[in-house]
Amino acid sequence: MTDEQNLASENEIPITEKEKNVNYGAIIAVILLIILCIAGYFFTNKGQKNKPDVGSDIDAVLVCQKWVKENLKAPSTAEFPQINKAKITKLADTTWRVVSYVDAQNSFGAMIRTYYDCETTYLGKDKWQLLKLEFE
**Structural domains of the chain ordered from first start:** 3-49 (no CATH), 57-135 (3.10.450)
* Distance (Å, whole) CA 53 – CA 56: 9
What pLDDT does residue 135 have?
Answer: 95
**69 or 25, which is more confident:** 69
Q: How far apart are CA 118 and CA 98, in angstroms?
A: 5
Among the residue ranges 47-51, 69-73, 79-83, 132-136, the one predicted with the least confidence is 47-51
pTM: 0.62
Q: Is the pLDDT of residue 9 over 90?
A: no
pLDDT at 16 over 90: no
CB environment 37-71: b (16+ within 10 A), e (fewer): eeeeeeeeeeeeeeeeeebeeeebbebbbeebbee
